[in-house]
Structure 1
């Protein structure tokens, strides 16, 4: 039974009904509709913490989906799952693939920066200052790009860039 038929709370049921209606009226091909169904089931599984099931659904959606923007969001969600599981390199790979398809995705740029910042902190704690600085520089680069795309977002990142002297501008908008 598809995951969307197992949802037992009102919000999930409402989302499922709305998504099913949209799928029925959208002027799109069967393959795209099937890809969306897998994507929707992946998001539902991910929300429930069922990461293996989410990844299976996202992989199915990825094999069916042809639109590059839609594929970028599938890859982004795959990266989120890997980030949640602590598999930072796989997450980075998927975020970068998403950005290759959709360069105007500030949330992917932000998440790449967050991972590099985290890795910088771990390197610093381990006494590897050179590696920490490389990760912090990468974080600064990606946060700067994210902020340029969404200047009203990522306020903490903007403050970090300023306080660490990594900001090249005072205002991004």
Structure 2
């Protein structure tokens, strides 16, 4: 049974009904509509913590979806699942793929920076200061890109950049 027929949550059901209506009236081909249905089911499964089911739906959506922008969001969501499972290298690959398809995706840039910053902290704890600094520099570059795309977001990242001396005065203009 498709996930869209199983939701007990009123908000999820409302979203599903609206998505189904939009899907029916959208002037697009059957393949794109089917891709969207898998993507929608993937998001629903992901929200419920059903990561394996979400990944299956995202993989199917990727096989059907041709639009680069839509593919970038599918890859981004797959990256979120890998990151939440501690699979940081795979998450980084997926975030980078999503940015290649859609360079104006600040949330992917932010998540890349978060992973590099996390890896930098681990390296620092292990006494690998040179490696830590290199990872912090990588994090800073990605945060700067994210902040340029979404200046009102990522306030904590802006503060981190200032505190660590990795911020230029005009970086966020």
The residue number in structure 1 matching 2:57 is 57
Q: RMSD over aligned Cα, in angstroms?
A: 0.8
d(CA) in 1 for partners of 2:115, 2:128 = 17
Give the structure 2 partner of residue 138 of structure 1.
138
Aligned to 1:48: 48
Give the length in aligned residue pairs: 173
User: Where does residue 13 of structure 2 map in the other structure?
Assistant: 13
Segments of structure 1 that go 5 or more residues without pairing to the other structure are: none
Query: What is the distance in 1 between the residues matched to 2:89 and 2:169?
Result: 30
Q: Which runs of 4+ in 1 moved over 2 A?
A: none
Could you tell me the TM-score, scaled by structure 2's length? 0.98
Cα distance, 1:169 vs. partner? 2.2
**1:157 aligned partner:** 157
* DSSP-derived class of the 1:169 partner: coil
Report the CA distance between 1:4 and its aligned residue.
1.1
- TM-score (structure 1 length as normaliser): 0.98
Where structure 2 has 5 or more consecutive residues not aligned to the other structure, the ranges are none
Q: Following TM superposition, by how much is the alpha carbon of 1:145 offset from its aligned partner in structure 2, in angstroms?
A: 0.3
1:136 & 1:68 partners in 2: Cα distance?
Answer: 30
